[in-house]
Structure 1
Amino acid sequence: MPRYALKIEYHGAPFAGWQRQNDQKTVQGAIEDALARLEPRAHTIAAAGRTDAGVHALAQVAHCDMERDWDPFRLSEALNYHLKPAPVAIVDCAQVAADWHARFSALQRRYLFRILMRRAPATHQSGLVWQVKQDLDVAAMREGAAHLIGRHDFTTFRSTICQAESPTKTLDHLEVRSVETPAGPEIHFDVRARSFLHNQVRSFVGTLERVGAGSWHPDQVGVALQARDRAACGPVCPPQGLYLAHVDYNIAPFESA
């Protein structure tokens, strides 16, 4: 059975996350239903990351096994036809080796988080950003973020329902930057690691927002990290500003990568 890698973009608002659930709409379920329209049978796809309810993707990667030898372009076009009107799009498709795996072959995952700073309600960006009404101190947030980079026990920033075997992870990169947009000033968080704990990025951002607002000193982030206690974490921010932005592989499966 030929295997295909899919690069997937989606708006997470209508979905109860990536992972298939019997009684709720999910991104995985929508794509598997579309695959069943092309080859009528049960389909199971695997993804690089299982995003939560309300989380978006710019470049989620999944793989599927087909019985027919599909031209990748025709497969992506057929899937997009059957995915309508769901806010899910296959933006690239490539045939890969039979042992290639969207999750286990991944070397690094990159997430983007967007905070919009303005008092007026968001209109065009509604559901795509976390809106805060006050200006945040980006320099202080950068200082706080520096405590998190490297290999640590991230128990403080791990959901109580996280199923990972260990809370120890290596955070490769955490950049906090100001971005001017037509809708107003935004703060973007660029977060990169091989793998993440459940709610880890949203826990980081929620804690760093408290630093930017002046409620926390930047050094308190390090204290919270060393506490290895979920109760020491700042508030977990809402999901709508979070995007799975990129997945790295040893050999990029897509021509546009």
Structure 2
Amino acid sequence: MRWALGISYLGQAYDGWQSQPSGRTVQDHLEGALARFADQPVSTVCAGRTDAGVHGLMQVVHFDTGVVREPFSWVRGTNTFLPPDIAVQWAHPVPAEFHSRASALARRYAYVLLESAVRPSIESGRAGWVFRPLDEGALRDAASRLLGEHDFTSFRASGCQARSPVKTLGRINIERKGPYWRFEFEANAFLHHMIRNIMGCLVAVGQGHQAPAWIDEVLAARSRDAAAPTFSPDGLYFLGPVYESHWGLPASTPPYHWLP
């Protein structure tokens, strides 16, 4: 039987999502907890891998097992063996043709940024930080230039393993709540470090170091050297994948309402 799980986690203590020999990844902890609960090895496939320090509000995984349990048992039983900063939010049986990565129509991320003369304290590791004011109009102008299908080579990490740098960025929302900015991105797929590199460029524009039209030049250059430095992972959250409604999977989790 195939199951899909929605997972939330804080990424500060982990070396990213994907399993590594160190065992200090979210996947390692999840599969270890599932194995203890199911009393047999469990291998998971995720919707989108996250880097060290990046958080997840609804990572989705699927796995196959012959163990029969109720949905609430997969949630509560697995959580018993997980650390406090990782939690299964929901569990649903899915057809064998469902694939957490291949069935996703799009993926969503949010970046939370603190604009303040004082560095983060209680939000340390959970929000990026700038101490110079940002121009909202310039930010929106710059962001609009990234929408649509583009070759995002300039925003791609050197170690990115994606077959093509061409992606379709369908939405960028920018909101402000007090000193906190929230940038939300939705695309068919993202390149390695793509959002953090976009954030570096948006901050450069927002602080007046570059004009919004500079974004067009960065895209056209198709060179990582043309863009700003990679921004901090601290404020980056994987909101989760978007699936067709017929799979019957939740579109959000309670942590969505906690995030600014």
Normalized against structure 2, the TM-score is what? 0.93
SS at match of 1:210: helix
**Distance apart, 1:255 and its partner CA:** 5.1
Distance in 1 (alpha carbons) for counterparts of 2:76 and 2:41: 20
Partner amino acid, structure 2, of 1:31: L
Task: Give the total of aligned pairs.
Answer: 251
Distance in 2 (alpha carbons) for counterparts of 1:42 and 1:246: 25
Distance in 2 (alpha carbons) for counterparts of 1:234 and 1:189: 17
In structure 2, the residue matched to 1:160 is 158
Query: Any unmatched runs of 5+ in structure 1?
Result: none
Of the three residues 217, 223, 227, the one matched with 1:223 is 217
In structure 2, the residue matched to 1:23 is 22
Distance in 2 (alpha carbons) for counterparts of 1:215 and 1:129: 22
Note if contact 1:106-1:248 (Cα within 8 Å) is conserved in structure 2: yes
Matched, 1:235 2:233: no
Distance in 1 (alpha carbons) for counterparts of 2:30 and 2:248: 19
Note if contact 1:138-1:177 (Cα within 8 Å) is conserved in structure 2: no
Note if contact 2:168-2:187 (Cα within 8 Å) is conserved in structure 1: yes
Distance in 1 (alpha carbons) for counterparts of 2:46 and 2:116: 35
Of the three residues 202, 211, 215, the one matched with 2:205 is 211
Percent pairwise identity: 39
After TM superposition, the structure 1 = structure 2 runs for residues 6-85 of structure 1, keeping only pairs within 5 Å, are 6-85=5-84
Distance 1:5 1:253, change over 3 A: farther
SS at match of 2:180: strand
Distance in 2 (alpha carbons) for counterparts of 1:211 and 1:38: 49
**Distance apart, 1:256 and its partner CA:** 6.6
Note if contact 1:92-1:254 (Cα within 8 Å) is conserved in structure 2: no
Partner amino acid, structure 2, of 1:76: V
Distance in 2 (alpha carbons) for counterparts of 1:20 and 1:255: 25
**Distance apart, 1:40 and its partner CA:** 3.2
Matched, 1:198 2:192: yes
Question: Which stretch of structure 1 is more off in the superposition, 65-74 or 219-228?
Answer: 65-74
Partner amino acid, structure 2, of 1:118: S
**Distance apart, 1:188 and its partner CA:** 1.1
After TM superposition, the structure 1 = structure 2 runs for residues 237-252 of structure 1, keeping only pairs within 5 Å, are 237-251=231-245, 252=247
Distance in 2 (alpha carbons) for counterparts of 1:159 and 1:84: 30
SS at match of 1:151: strand
Of the three residues 116, 119, 122, the one matched with 1:121 is 119
Question: Which stretch of structure 1 is more off in the superposition, 50-59 or 38-47?
Answer: 38-47
Distance 1:187 1:255, change over 3 A: closer
Q: CA RMSD in A?
A: 1.3
Distance 1:255 1:234, change over 3 A: closer
In structure 2, the residue matched to 1:253 is 248
Note if contact 2:47-2:240 (Cα within 8 Å) is conserved in structure 1: no
SS at match of 2:81: helix
In structure 1, the residue matched to 2:171 is 173
In structure 1, the residue matched to 2:133 is 135
Q: Deviations over 1:152-172 (max 9, x none)?
A: 111101111100111111111
Partner amino acid, structure 1, of 2:171: H
Distance in 1 (alpha carbons) for counterparts of 2:241 and 2:18: 18
Partner amino acid, structure 1, of 2:157: S
After TM superposition, the structure 1 = structure 2 runs for residues 76-95 of structure 1, keeping only pairs within 5 Å, are 76-85=75-84, 87-95=85-93
Distance in 1 (alpha carbons) for counterparts of 2:249 and 2:43: 21
Normalized against structure 1, the TM-score is what? 0.94
SS at match of 2:234: helix
Distance 1:170 1:128, change over 3 A: same
SS at match of 1:113: strand
Query: Any unmatched runs of 5+ in structure 2?
Result: 253-260
